[in-house]
């Protein structure tokens, strides 16, 4: 993995050198309300790689303080995603396991005169808050006595009030230029069953109050989060400085990652799934980690991609092509390169013996002999790609097959096309060719040059294959959450039926290949022995790399 340096690494290094901290402990705090996407991968890779580079560790903490939208399905999925990326959290914890300790800190703030129970409704709260131009107005409940606040807060906890009837607010400054500091709500009433704590609580702490406390209880040294929390940092520090905590963590923000033609917000990904615009969270067109995995992306490619984008204090949108680049880099030398014909055209070798099949040796990966070799069948009946044949007289740049032209079949012989057979609609159904036995691959034949090299699959032994070919789901480069439905790409998933070499009948889901001249593919979960299914992960950089 690339060693990258970034501004957070510099901060950590300096703090270690100056003994401000003596170790590094970070956390990844997803809300278990959706599947993780590639944007989350930036937070994951950043937290885990930074900690690792200082021999530190990272906690996985489920930020489940909002019970309304959360579910254990997502908890399990997130744990699996991290495992897949190859990261082992030091511990797996739930924000909700700190509910008791967080409640104690709320009592402490009340006792210090720094929190009060407020009866304003949600709309009133918003009105009293003011805006960037106007200072807020103090709540009429702001000066309740400590005793009254303690009593009311306890009643809130005991379920005496309905949702929204009362809140607990920090007493900070209603005139602060930072709206987050205008007496923010730190506890609200929600009568609901929580997936971890059941019916124990009907009051829940707000993120801005719970998160710094959780970081402190766990001994997190650096609480890394995306840029939208920058304005919340003064509140983070206020909580840390007023709650008499033993350990003081530090919040540092970094820019969010976006990718072209991709919507990266959980809400919209959910909409795509709920409205059946995709087949599910693991649809190979989705930017979710489960989607990218099914499409064929590797953990390595994702990590290298994230590291290559660097880390800064600005949100950035990276070209999808970058992610593709790192997949090719990862698989170039590792993946076998069998032949697959995606859009088949039948070829009959008229001068080849009927019923004979010969087996010709071929390297599994011509750039990496260490991957060994296998045998490729050859007979009178073959398939080539329809696109590798041109009927009209081609110009001199055409380096594939045409009538009266001779090409090399990769790993086999030169063939020459003599006759084009069409059906009643004029569609080409078959080519009649002859082969030259002297041109056998590996024989050293040099007497003449073929008009290019194409690939093929022997027809009688070929395995039926389905190929899923993808384009961006959204046509907009700068995918806009509001208008994305008008810009859905009708060709984002095209299925083709073709053939692959016989040995691929045993392929297993997620096996990776570079199909010669066709790109990188990964075996789909739906693949079965008599019909194997492949997802094209990415094309080849240049269309013909032989
Ligand atoms: P979304 O905005 O997509 O709905 P979220 O930020 O609400 O996601 P969380 O579950 O809170 O999702 O995210 C966990 C962590 O991942 C947070 O620290 C968040 O800052 C970070 N994160 C989420 N999306 C991105 C992104 N696109 N780039 C970088 N970090 C991200
Ligand atoms: Mg969030």
Same domain? 473 vs 406: yes
d(CA 52, CA 285): 32
Residue with tokens 């990590």: 303
- Which ligand is closest in space to the CA of residue 226? 1
Residue 97 DSSP label = G
How far away, in angstroms, is 204 Cα from ligand 2 center?
16
Same domain? 229 vs 270: no
Atom number of ligand 1 nearest to Cα 315: 28
CB 387 within 8 A of CB 343: yes
pLDDT > 90? residue 539: yes
Q: Which of 198, 233, 254 is the last residue of a domain?
A: 254
Same domain? 113 vs 151: yes
d(CA 219, CA 531): 53
Residue with tokens 């480069």: 477
Nearest Cα neighbor of 39 from 325, 306, 321, 319 is 306
Number of other CB atoms surrounding residue 475 within 10 Å = 16
Main-chain phi, psi angles of 426, to 5 degrees = 85, 5
In sequence order, the 6+-apart residues with CB closer than 8 A to the CB of 90 are 25, 57, 58, 59
d(CA 464, CA 380): 19
CB 381 within 8 A of CB 460: yes
**Residues 383, 386, 390: CA angle, nearest 5 degrees:** 120
Q: How many domains does the chain have?
A: 3
Same domain? 78 vs 220: yes
Specify if 546 maps to a domain.
Answer: no
Atom number of ligand 1 nearest to Cα 226: 20
Same domain? 172 vs 228: yes
Question: Which of 191-200, 233-242, 296-305 shows the lowest mean pLDDT across its residues?
Answer: 191-200
Nearest Cα neighbor of 301 from 282, 320, 285, 278 is 320
- HSE at residue 124, side-chain half, CA atoms within 13 A, is 12
Per residue, the 3-state secondary structure of 337-395, as one string, reads CCCEECCEEEEEECCCCCCCEEEEEEECCCCCHHHCEEEEEEECEEEEEHHHEECCCCC
Burial environment of residue 16 by CB neighbours within 10 A (0 to 12, 13 to 18, 19 or more): middle
How far away, in angstroms, is 31 Cα from ligand 2 center?
6
How far away, in angstroms, is 338 Cα from ligand 1 center?
39
Q: What is the mean pLDDT of the chain?
A: 94
The two tokens of residue 501 are: 């070499």
CB 217 within 8 A of CB 240: no
Q: Which residue has the higher pLDDT, 522 or 476?
A: 522
Specify if 124 maps to a domain.
Answer: yes
The pocket around ligand 1, CB under 6 angstroms, is made up of: 29-31, 39-40, 42-43, 225-226, 256-257, 264-267
Nearest residue (by CA) to ligand 1, atom 4, is 266
- Which ligand is closest in space to the CA of residue 266? 1
Nearest residue (by CA) to ligand 1, atom 18, is 225
- Which ligand is closest in space to the CA of residue 229? 1
Specify if 208 maps to a domain.
Answer: yes
The two tokens of residue 347 are: 């070829």
Q: Which of 254, 273, 295 is the last residue of a domain?
A: 254
What are the CB-based long-range contacts (under 8 Å, 24+) for 419-424? 420/391
**Residues 536, 541, 542: CA angle, nearest 5 degrees:** 115
Atom number of ligand 1 nearest to Cα 228: 20
Nearest Cα neighbor of 248 from 239, 235, 261, 259 is 239
Same domain? 155 vs 51: yes
Nearest residue (by CA) to ligand 1, atom 9, is 30
Q: Which domain holds residue 273?
A: 258-331
For residue 323, the domain's CATH number is 1.10.1160.10
pLDDT > 50? residue 128: yes
Atom number of ligand 1 nearest to Cα 267: 4
How far away, in angstroms, is 61 Cα from ligand 2 center?
13
Same domain? 287 vs 400: no
* 7-17 helix and 38-53 helix, angle to the nearest 10 degrees: 30
Pocket test for ligand 1, best of 71, 226, 252, 271 (most atoms within 8 A of CB): 226
For residue 156, the domain's CATH number is 3.40.50.620
CB 364 within 8 A of CB 372: yes
Per residue, the 3-state secondary structure of 124-145, as one string, reads HHHHHHCCCCCCCCCCCCCCCC
Same domain? 280 vs 359: no
Pocket test for ligand 1, best of 42, 43, 224 (most atoms within 8 A of CB): 43
How far away, in angstroms, is 163 Cα from ligand 2 center?
22
pLDDT > 60? residue 365: yes
Model confidence pLDDT, tens digit, residues 137-172: 999 999 999 999 999 999 999 999 999 999 999 999
pLDDT > 60? residue 187: yes
Specify if 110 maps to a domain.
Answer: yes
Nearest residue (by CA) to ligand 1, atom 26, is 39
d(CA 488, CA 492): 8
The radius of gyration computed from the CA coordinates of the chain, to the nearest angstrom, equals 31
How far away, in angstroms, is 30 Cα from ligand 2 center?
7
Same domain? 399 vs 326: no
CB 62 within 8 A of CB 28: no
Specify if 2 maps to a domain.
Answer: no
CB 156 within 8 A of CB 175: no
Atom number of ligand 1 nearest to Cα 266: 4
Q: Which of 188, 220, 254 is the last residue of a domain?
A: 254
Q: What is the mean pLDDT of residues 206-217?
A: 98
Specify if 184 maps to a domain.
Answer: yes
Number of other CB atoms surrounding residue 122 within 10 Å = 11
Q: How much is the pLDDT for 542?
A: 40
Specify if 311 maps to a domain.
Answer: yes
Model confidence pLDDT, tens digit, residues 19-71: 999 999 999 999 998 899 999 999 999 999 999 999 999 999 999 988 776 67
Q: Which three-class secondary structure state does DSSP give residue 92?
A: strand
pLDDT > 60? residue 4: no
pLDDT > 50? residue 201: yes
d(CA 222, CA 57): 11
For residue 471, the domain's CATH number is 2.40.240.10
Same domain? 248 vs 271: no
**Residues 436, 437, 438: CA angle, nearest 5 degrees:** 90
Same domain? 295 vs 398: no
**Cα 115 to the chain's mean position, in Å?**
41
Nearest residue (by CA) to ligand 1, atom 2, is 265
Number of other CB atoms surrounding residue 19 within 10 Å = 7
d(CA 383, CA 376): 13
Same domain? 178 vs 289: no
Q: How much is the pLDDT for 543?
A: 36
Atom number of ligand 1 nearest to Cα 43: 30
d(CA 54, CA 9): 9
CB 264 within 8 A of CB 37: yes
d(CA 504, CA 370): 19
How far away, in angstroms, is 161 Cα from ligand 2 center?
28
Q: How much is the pLDDT for 290?
A: 98
Specify if 1 maps to a domain.
Answer: no
Nearest residue (by CA) to ligand 1, atom 25, is 39
Nearest residue (by CA) to ligand 1, atom 3, is 265
pLDDT > 70? residue 213: yes
Number of other CB atoms surrounding residue 6 within 10 Å = 16
Q: Hey, which residues are catalytic here? A: 31, 256, 266
Give the CA distances from residue 203 to residues 89, 195, 472, in Å, rounded to whole numbers and listed in that order: 29, 14, 43
How far away, in angstroms, is 40 Cα from ligand 1 center?
5
pLDDT > 60? residue 546: no
């Amino acid at each position: 993995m690339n060693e990258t340096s970034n501004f957070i690494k510099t901060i950590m290094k300096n703090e270690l050198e100056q003994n401000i901290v003596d170790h590094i402990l970070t956390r990844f705090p997803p809300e278990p309300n959706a599947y993780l996407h590639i944007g989350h991968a930036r937070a994951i890779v950043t937290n885990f790689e930074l900690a690792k580079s200082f021999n530190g560790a990272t906690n996985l903490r489920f930020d489940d303080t909002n019970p309304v939208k959360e579910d254990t399905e997502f908890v399990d999925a997130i744990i699996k995603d991290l495992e897949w990326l190859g990261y082992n959290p030091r511990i797996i914890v739930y924000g909700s396991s700190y509910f008791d300790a967080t409640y104690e800190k709320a009592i402490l703030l009340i006792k210090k005169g720094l929190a009060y129970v407020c009866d304003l409704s949600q709309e009133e709260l918003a009105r009293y808050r003011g805006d960037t131009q106007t200072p807020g107005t103090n709540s009429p409940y702001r000066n309740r006595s400590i005793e009254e606040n303690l009593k009311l807060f306890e009643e809130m906890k005991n379920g005496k009030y309905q949702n929204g009837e009362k809140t607990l607010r920090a007493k900070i400054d209603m005139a602060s230029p930072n709206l987050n500091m205008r007496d923010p709500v730190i506890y609200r009433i929600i009568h609901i069953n929580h997936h971890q704590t059941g019916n124990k609580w009907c009051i829940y702490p707000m993120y801005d109050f719970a998160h710094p406390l959780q970081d402190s209880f766990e001994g997190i040294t650096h609480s890394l989060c995306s840029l939208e929390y920058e304005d919340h940092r003064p509140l983070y520090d206020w909580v840390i400085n007023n709650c008499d905590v033993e350990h003081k963590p530090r919040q540092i923000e970094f820019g969010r990652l976006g990718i072209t033609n991709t919507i990266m917000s959980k809400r919209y990904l959910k909409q795509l799934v709920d409205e059946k615009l995709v087949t599910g969270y693991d649809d190979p067109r989705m930017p979710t980690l489960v989607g990218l995995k099914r499409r064929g992306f590797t953990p390595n490619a994702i990590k290298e991609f994230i590291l290559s984008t660097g880390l800064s204090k600005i949100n950035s949108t990276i070209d999808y092509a970058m992610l593709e680049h790192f997949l090719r880099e990862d698989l170039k030398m590792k993946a076998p390169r069998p032949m697959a014909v995606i859009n088949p055209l039948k070829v009959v070798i008229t001068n080849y013996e009927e019923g004979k099949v010969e087996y010709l040796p071929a390297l599994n990966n011509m750039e990496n002999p260490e991957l060994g070799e296998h045998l490729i069948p050859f007979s009178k009946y073959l398939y080539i790609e329809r696109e590798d044949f041109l009927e009209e007289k081609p110009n001199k740049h055409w380096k594939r097959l045409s009538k009266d032209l001779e090409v090399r079949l990769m790993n086999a012989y030169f063939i020459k096309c003599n006759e084009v057979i069409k059906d009643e609609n004029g569609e080409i159904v078959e080519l009649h060719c002859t082969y030259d036995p002297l041109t056998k691959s590996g024989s050293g034949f040099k007497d003449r040059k073929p008009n290019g090299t194409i690939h093929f699959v022997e027809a009688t032994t070929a395995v039926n294959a389905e190929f899923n070919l993808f384009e961006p789901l959204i046509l907009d480069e700068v995918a806009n959450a509001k208008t994305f439905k008008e810009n859905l790409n009708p060709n984002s998933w095209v299925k083709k039926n073709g053939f692959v070499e016989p040995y691929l009948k045993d392929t297993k889901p997620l096996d990776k290949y570079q199909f010669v001249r066709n790109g990188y593919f990964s075996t789909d979960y739906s693949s079965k022995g008599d019909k194997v299914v492949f997802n094209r992960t990415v094309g080849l950089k240049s269309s013909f790399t032989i």
